[in-house]
Homo-oligomer: A and B are copies of this chain.
Amino acid sequence: MPQLHYGIGVDLGATTVKTGLVTSAGKIITQAKLPTLGEQGPKAVILQIKKSIEEVMKHAKGKTLRGIGIGSPGIVDEKGGIVKDPPNISGWHHVALGEKIQKSFKLHVAVENDANVAAIAEAKFGAGKRYPSFLFVIWGTGVGGGIILDGKIYRGAFGGAGEIGHVAIDYNGLLCNCGAKGCVEAYVGQRHLSQRAIERLKSQPRSKILDLVGGDISKVEPMYISQAAYGGDKLAREIFTEAGTLLGVALGSVMNVVDLRVIIIGGGLSAAGKFVFDAVKKSVQSHVLKPLREDIRVLPAKLGNSAGILGAAGLVL
């Protein structure tokens, strides 16, 4: 067996900074959790990141550390490790996060957008290990993603590639939060699924979804639809099958443009059961060009909440 080496992975989230000491085999040896303190501005946040790194470093004595990787919301400028306009951190416009952490710890530091980091985690340690190239999808509040090509993240010309939530599936369709019409996110994102369930429950009140919210229709959210679907509820399964089918239309377009065959889907809304993956796959296959159809695979992500730490560490491992 090759000698293990180690990396530190920082998952900078909206409410929590999660930092782990990770082996080159993808095992988290120890981790620290601190509040992000985003409302106190960049200085406070950077201090929290440093504290969390110091905490896990106590466990790294005598170990070969390859560096520190950071997954951050917002747009990340590859070269300088500059993080631009992350939501939920007040007063953070452009901050050279990589440089600041590098100066404090004298270690190699890499910073990457959080969706890309989750894609890297699946590539190195998760469902993508066997596939050099795949499309990674996070299906939750919105639809995000990352493109892995030959084991590396594909950043596009300006570092913002992979915005698959804003692939249009109906040129005259629903209005998306981004201001455009017909983005797939407007059809399969969290808010839309709830609305769709609430509408349908009015005519199909015998669904388990209603039981799960104690009969209070205003409390319906995707978590409950997902639970009901997992338990076999017909309406809940219908809603997720439709959503998976629509998601597949957008993913099919992406496969045609980027020429990929494998899709790995994570995020809260992907947990409703295998039938969702089947619906996505069927839809992707009916939308990609013929030579691609046979080889299309649609797989669940494996790493769940650990993807942030693992992928961040994966940036330096």
Contacts and interface: CB of A to CB of B under 8 A. Distances in A.
Contact of A161 (B159, B170, B178, B257): B257
A156 B249 contact: no
Interface of A: 75, 132-133, 147, 149-150, 155-164, 166-172, 178-182, 246, 249-250, 252-254, 256-261, 286-292
Nearest to A287: B180
A156 B147 CA distance: 10
Contacts of A150: 157
A304 to B, nearest CB: 25
B289 A163 contact: yes
B157 A261 contact: yes
A158 B249 contact: no
A257 B163 contact: yes
A253 B170 CA distance: 11
A257 B256 contact: no
Contacts of A132: 157
Listed residue (A159, A160, A258) with the most chain B CB atoms within 10 angstroms of its CB:
A258
Nearest to A155: B259
Nearest to A246: B171
B252 A168 contact: yes
Contact of A256 (B75, B166, B170, B259): B166
